[in-house]
Structure 1
Amino acid sequence: MLMELFSFYNVENLFLPDPKPTHKLDPTISGLRNWDERKYRNKLFKIAHVFQLMKEAHGEVPFMIGLSEVSGRKVLEDLVQIEPFNCGYGIVHYNSPDERHVDVAFLYDKSKVQVINSETITFFFETTNKNQENYNTTRDVLYSKLNYRGEILHVFIAHLPSKRERDINKGKRDFIIKEIRSRILNIVNKGKENVILCGDFNENPNDENLMKILYNDAHAKVMENPFMRLFSAGNYSTFHYKSGLLFDQIMLSESFFTEDNMLVFENAEVFCPDKIKSRDKKLGGRPFRTFAGTRYLGGYSDHFPVFVRFKIDK
């Protein structure tokens, strides 16, 4: 049986190495302590290695990959040159107005997928509080319309505002998810359409916002979230203090659950082999991250990647 994987991965601050400062007080571009060429190359290798491990475990490199926390196109160009991508993957990326200069991006196997068009959904939020002037922008949502073996796919990639500072950004998340939901409904209301929504939502699958996105205004199901079951079973993609979280998810339109579709949903997984888990026994099973605060650890990311597997039915 032929299979395809679709993956999403928050790669934790993939920045180009910082240039040498002209003064010791100069701020770095990345905001990371002593971020240099060696650490950057190690980071690229680690991210590519995750997908090599995925290939070894499941027989395929994902044919489409959503990424978050990447800074600029150059880091993606460097990444796709490395095995297992080997220059065979295309890039969809736009610079967003995010205050930390991190974006979402899309990689795709050029031998299988053609991009028909793409665009960003950009959000600006007004603020009257001078102490919150840095909170009026966030990452774009990336939309791509694709052709896969003659079938049209609509892919949305999001990295929603975090829950920092007593969840000051909740209103932003509410607004962005409402807009994404509206756009998905405009697509699925046209008929049998294939929609994939993936990202780091900074909310768990059972949170109200993410439950709402699964239904239309008549309360009929239009999307499925296979990560709901994984979360209920104690599968997590990241952690905050002692809490396990499944912020990284992939949601699918109902079309992927019908046998006459080109791609039919098979299963979903948080990909967490031992090699990408923390070496610290106290952190039992958590992601092996690149930084802990300002301390460089040299790991992969503070998130595990997630994926869904499709069987090809035609």
Structure 2
Amino acid sequence: MTRFNNILFVITFMLLSSLGFASKFTVMTFNVENLFDNLDDPQKEDETYLPSSMKASKLHIDQCNKIEVFKWRDDCLNIDWNDEVIEYKLNVITETILSYKEHGPDIIGLQEVENENILKQLYSRLKHHGYKFYTLVEGNDDRGIDNAFISKYEILNSKLHQIEFSGGSKDQIGDTRPILESVFLIKDKEVSIYNVHFPAPHNPLFMRKDAFTTLDKLGSNNKRIAVALGDFNVTSAENAKEKLYEKIHKNWFVSHLDQCSKCKGTNYYFRDDRWSFLDAVMLKRDGSAEFVENSVEIITTDAHTRDDGSPLRFNSKGLYGVSDHFPVVVKIEIY
């Protein structure tokens, strides 16, 4: 009788699984580092990402010379963001995404995408691998960089949530991005995924704290399964002192805290010889979903990796590298 019960249990479990009572999907977060087209948007500060043929005017030179940081000013004046550069960058990003299981994850959350025009160009390279949907909602970042999704699952709707800052100057707030929320239909479940690009480390700590608070509030008020992913911009030095990831971990699973114990990080800062998990995937703790065991991966391709193992950022002059961030992938099981 015991053996019969065991066989019956196995058969029942297999039937329930095949009927979709538990399903799994994979998500990737990937900061693609300045994925711009080369069309001038007069409403945004995109002067750096134009071809040389558009940079000879006095107006352009004067605009670049207003930039205080030497590296950024030099890029604005001298980077030749031509069609060949864009083609190469799109191709290496595509190769990086598809290096995961040959056909890429189910859902890709992207940061630092200028607009829908360049997003469509990336999507066109991925659509033959099962991707059918994409979304980008224009935000208020001064440079025009936004968050976006490309997905194999249907995207039902998308909207932006402004971060509720408790202070900050106009320039500091202008250097930030709202949170993109998209709702996906995964099997028969609606899943909210928040795509974030939090204030950069050069901005005050309170701005990242406010961003985490805003995200946590959004998740707690959402009755759906909730995933958060993106560039949280928390350095290892800041997290060692402030425990920002550990604090959010009370309500969310965090990719590098729950798994990936041998992973060094997603970004390497040479000046301080420091790895950081700037990028992460998080899942709301409500019993409706969990990370699949041992599924967290940092994606490192040859084209994206220096000899010392750190990310090889994109170089438009030499046409090599991909981004200063490694992507993170997680498999999630929903019940």
> What range describes the TM-score normalised by the shorter chain of this pair?
0.7 to 0.9
Question: Could you report, residue by residue, the CA deviation over 1:8-55 in whole angstroms, capped at 9, with x for unpaired residues?
Answer: 000000001225326344157x94711111001100001101122113
Computing the radius of gyration from Cα coordinates, the structure with the larger value is 2
Report the CA distance shift for 1:309/1:126 in structure 2 as closer, same or farther (over 3 A): closer
Counterpart of 2:72 in structure 1 is: none
Structure 2 unmatched ranges of 5 or more: 1-16, 18-22, 39-49, 65-74
- SS of the residue aligned with 1:48? helix
TM-score of the pair, normalised by structure 2: 0.74
Report the CA distance shift for 1:243/1:85 in structure 2 as closer, same or farther (over 3 A): farther
Counterpart of 1:235 in structure 2 is: 264
Which whole-Å CA distance do the structure 2 matches of 1:264 and 1:161 have between them? Answer: 27
- SS of the residue aligned with 2:292? strand
Answer 1 or 2: which has greater helix percent.
2
Q: Does 1:200 align with 2:243?
A: no
Q: Is the CA contact (8 Å cut-off) linking 1:126 and 1:136 kept in structure 2? A: no
Structure 1 unmatched ranges of 5 or more: 216-221
Which whole-Å CA distance do the structure 2 matches of 1:237 and 1:43 have between them? Answer: 19
Superposed CA RMSD = 3.0
Per-residue deviation, 1:297: 5.0
Which whole-Å CA distance do the structure 2 matches of 1:125 and 1:225 have between them? Answer: 23
Q: Does 1:23 align with 2:56?
A: yes
Report the CA distance shift for 1:254/1:171 in structure 2 as closer, same or farther (over 3 A): closer
Q: Does 1:4 align with 2:25?
A: yes
Letter of the 2:255 counterpart: P
Letter of the 1:286 counterpart: S
Letter of the 2:292 counterpart: F
TM-score of the pair, normalised by structure 1: 0.79
Counterpart of 2:201 in structure 1 is: 163
1:208-223 pair list within 5 angstroms? 208-215=243-250, 222-223=251-252
Per-residue deviation, 1:208: 2.5
Report the CA distance shift for 1:157/1:16 in structure 2 as closer, same or farther (over 3 A): same
Per-residue deviation, 1:83: 4.2
Q: Is the CA contact (8 Å cut-off) linking 1:237 and 1:248 kept in structure 2? A: yes
Q: Does 1:88 align with 2:126?
A: no
- SS of the residue aligned with 1:12? strand
Letter of the 2:172 counterpart: Y
- SS of the residue aligned with 2:264? coil
Q: Which moved more, 1:37-46 or 1:265-274?
A: 265-274
- SS of the residue aligned with 1:136? helix
Report the CA distance shift for 1:39/1:145 in structure 2 as closer, same or farther (over 3 A): same
Which whole-Å CA distance do the structure 1 matches of 2:266 and 2:138 have between them? Answer: 26
Q: Is the CA contact (8 Å cut-off) linking 1:61 and 1:84 kept in structure 2? A: no
Which whole-Å CA distance do the structure 2 matches of 1:75 and 1:87 have between them? Answer: 19
Counterpart of 1:42 in structure 2 is: 88
Counterpart of 2:192 in structure 1 is: 154
Counterpart of 2:106 in structure 1 is: 63
Which whole-Å CA distance do the structure 2 matches of 1:277 and 1:83 have between them? Answer: 22
Letter of the 2:173 counterpart: N
Letter of the 1:135 counterpart: Q
Counterpart of 2:79 in structure 1 is: 33
Report the CA distance shift for 1:86/1:231 in structure 2 as closer, same or farther (over 3 A): closer
Equivalent in 130, 137, 145 of residue 102 of structure 1: 145
Per-residue deviation, 1:75: 0.7
Which whole-Å CA distance do the structure 1 matches of 2:31 and 2:172 have between them? Answer: 21
Answer 1 or 2: which has greater strand percent.
1
- SS of the residue aligned with 2:160? strand
Q: Does 1:265 align with 2:288?
A: no
Counterpart of 2:159 in structure 1 is: 119
Counterpart of 1:304 in structure 2 is: 326
Counterpart of 2:47 in structure 1 is: none
Q: Is the CA contact (8 Å cut-off) linking 1:80 and 1:86 kept in structure 2? A: no
Q: Which moved more, 1:71-80 or 1:86-95?
A: 86-95
Letter of the 2:269 counterpart: H
Which whole-Å CA distance do the structure 1 matches of 2:164 and 2:258 have between them? Answer: 34
Which whole-Å CA distance do the structure 1 matches of 2:163 and 2:284 have between them? Answer: 24
Which whole-Å CA distance do the structure 2 matches of 1:303 and 1:38 have between them? Answer: 22
Letter of the 2:214 counterpart: E
Per-residue deviation, 1:119: 0.6
Q: Does 1:72 align with 2:115?
A: yes
Q: Does 1:224 align with 2:253?
A: yes
Q: What is the count of residue pairs matched by the alignment?
A: 281
Which whole-Å CA distance do the structure 2 matches of 1:127 and 1:223 have between them? Answer: 26
Report the CA distance shift for 1:202/1:296 in structure 2 as closer, same or farther (over 3 A): farther
Which whole-Å CA distance do the structure 2 matches of 1:213 and 1:126 have between them? Answer: 19
Letter of the 1:149 counterpart: K
- SS of the residue aligned with 1:177? helix
Q: Is the CA contact (8 Å cut-off) linking 1:250 and 1:308 kept in structure 2? A: yes
- SS of the residue aligned with 1:120? strand
